[in-house]
Amino acid sequence: MPEGIKNKILELVKEYYYKTYKKLPYNKVPVSGKVYDEKELQNIVEAALEGWWTEGKWCSIFEEKLKNFLNIDFALLVNSGSSANFIAIKTLTSIKLGDRKIKPGDEVITVAAGFPTTVNPIIEVGAIPVFVDVELGTYNAIVEQIQEAVSPKTKAIFLAHTLGNPFDVKAIKEICEDYNLWLIEDNCDALGSKYDGRYTGTFGDLATLSFYPAHHITTAEGGAVLTNDPQLYRIARSIRDWGRDCWCPTGKDNTCGRRFSWQLGKLPYGYDHKYIYSEIGYNLKMTDLQAAIGVAQMDKLGYFIKKRKENFEYLYNKLKEFEDYFILPKATENSEPSWFGFLLTIKDSSNINRTKFMQYLNDNGIGTRLLFGGNLIKQPYFVDYGIKYKQIRNLENTDIVMNNTFWIGVYPALEKGHLDYVYEVFKKYLDGVE
């Protein structure tokens, strides 16, 4: 396509954006949402015009931007954060890892107060999730219970940084080192968070990201697997790419220079390396159309993180007045969260009914969410399918989260006017609570 025509199209896309953009009114406060401008639209149109569409140059650019931002060696783009979590734990089942590989019946320590796709991959590979309780306020795993949960069958710890608040990385890394355990960081809600001055998602053997529209950046649907380990990267990439042994990029042939010179498994010598499969794999790749959006989003990430932190601090100072009613969120020691949301737990001493209060907030334009699955072992699928698990103690705080906790938004589209409105709505309701 002639360059001049393409440029005209991209200019029209820019014009379209500015003629259709509408500012969010102060009495509408979603918990999350996409924040973008004409650049995302121009990128996806440009990628479409190029006609490649599947994994290609835009994916490569996006991966490089992620690696440079996080200062990590490998970033593997996938089609969702859930797929990223699945690939991460599936990677640890590879025969290439010898005695350290996760086998059916092995145990993986995690929490029940979270999103199901942190836990479901553990179940899918035949391992047993071992649930520990969480702290109220940080909503992250209680370290002492993780220590208590370790058994001869334990192979890994798989934890999310809850709503952007880092878990106690130092203590949990020490447990992993003491017992030779794998660590997977579910960093889907925490892109841009730091622990001890270093970005989360860079501490674990593997880590994951989500680019669903609610998250810190978006590609509509998408995610990534992160690692500094070249062997784990190679395995993860194979699982993402049908399980193939070949490591050629999409559209390339014979990167190894031995395409017709391999003999693997019981295949005949010279069998085309592009069709040799060394892992049980799938097609979980991201498209170039999605990655083109991500490339533009990465240029805004620094601003997004700053705005989330500012919104959280402003809202915290406004809602501190209501500490008699709520447990307010608190950052983990030695951390700088890039907050995904603002968590509140209703105190038992208050007379607030969570369902009625959330309904009131929603009726007044303020979006709310629960802390995802609350207590996953009480979810229908856990009960109905008879899923095997272990738990440490009684998960008392997890049940409090299930019954009393919810969160509201701090995402970058929100301004002080939105947060002032949140305060006013809270105050009006609480003034009527005896």
**Strands (E) located in 28-96:** 74-78
DSSP 362-423: HHTTB--B-STTSSGGGSHHHHHTT---EESTT-HHHHHHHHHEEEE---TT--HHHHHHHH
Q: What pLDDT score does 159 carry? A: 98
Instruction: Tell me the CB-side half-sphere exposure of residue 213, using CA atoms within 13 A.
Output: 9
Question: Over its length of 434 residues, how does the chain's per-residue pLDDT go in tens digits?
Answer: 588 999 999 999 999 999 999 999 999 999 999 999 999 999 999 999 999 999 999 999 999 999 999 999 999 999 999 999 999 999 999 999 999 999 999 999 999 999 999 999 999 999 999 999 999 999 999 999 999 999 999 999 999 999 999 999 999 999 999 999 999 999 999 999 999 999 999 999 999 999 999 999 999 999 999 999 999 999 999 999 999 999 888 888 888 899 999 999 999 999 999 999 999 999 999 999 999 999 999 999 999 999 999 999 999 999 999 999 999 999 999 999 999 999 999 999 999 999 999 999 999 999 999 999 999 999 999 999 999 999 999 999 999 999 999 999 999 999 999 999 999 999 999 998 86
Q: What pLDDT score does 365 carry? A: 98
Q: What pLDDT score does 3 carry? A: 87
Q: What pLDDT score does 123 carry? A: 98
Residues 148, 408: contact at Cβ < 8 Å?
no
Known catalytic membership, residue 215: yes
Quote the CA–CA distance of 295 and 291 in Å, as a whole number. 6
Q: What pLDDT score does 251 carry? A: 80
Residue whose token pair is 């295949």:
267
Nearest partner of 401 among 323, 341, 343, judged by Cα: 343
Q: Which two tokens stand for residue 317?
A: 């100072």
Q: Is 305 helix (H, G, I), strand (E, B) or coil?
A: helix
Count CB neighbours of 1 within 10 A.
9
Quote the CA–CA distance of 320 and 306 in Å, as a whole number. 21
Residue whose token pair is 């890039």:
338
Q: What pLDDT score does 434 carry? A: 66
Nearest partner of 127 among 118, 136, 135, judged by Cα: 118
What is the phi/psi pair of residue 356, to 5°? Answer: -65, -40
Nearest-10 crossing angle of helices 288-298, 38-50: 150
Residues in Cβ contact with 266 at an 8 Å cutoff, skipping those fewer than 6 apart: none
Instruction: Tell me the CB-side half-sphere exposure of residue 235, using CA atoms within 13 A.
Output: 21
Residues in Cβ contact with 296 at an 8 Å cutoff, skipping those fewer than 6 apart: 36, 39, 40, 42, 43
CA–chain centroid gap for 281, Å, is: 21
What are the structural domains of the chain? 38-290 (3.40.640.10), 300-431 (3.90.1150.10)
**pTM for the full predicted model:** 0.96
* Active-site annotation holder among 161, 215, 216, 273: 215
Q: What pLDDT score does 332 carry? A: 98
Q: What pLDDT score does 249 carry? A: 83
Count CB neighbours of 264 within 10 A.
12
b/e burial code for range 91-100 (CB count within 10 A of at least 16 → b): bbbbeebeee
Residues in Cβ contact with 128 at an 8 Å cutoff, skipping those fewer than 6 apart: 105, 106, 107, 108, 122, 153, 388, 389, 390
First-residue to last-residue Cα distance in the chain? 69
Q: What pLDDT score does 160 carry? A: 98
Residues 406, 369: contact at Cβ < 8 Å?
yes
CA–chain centroid gap for 7, Å, is: 35
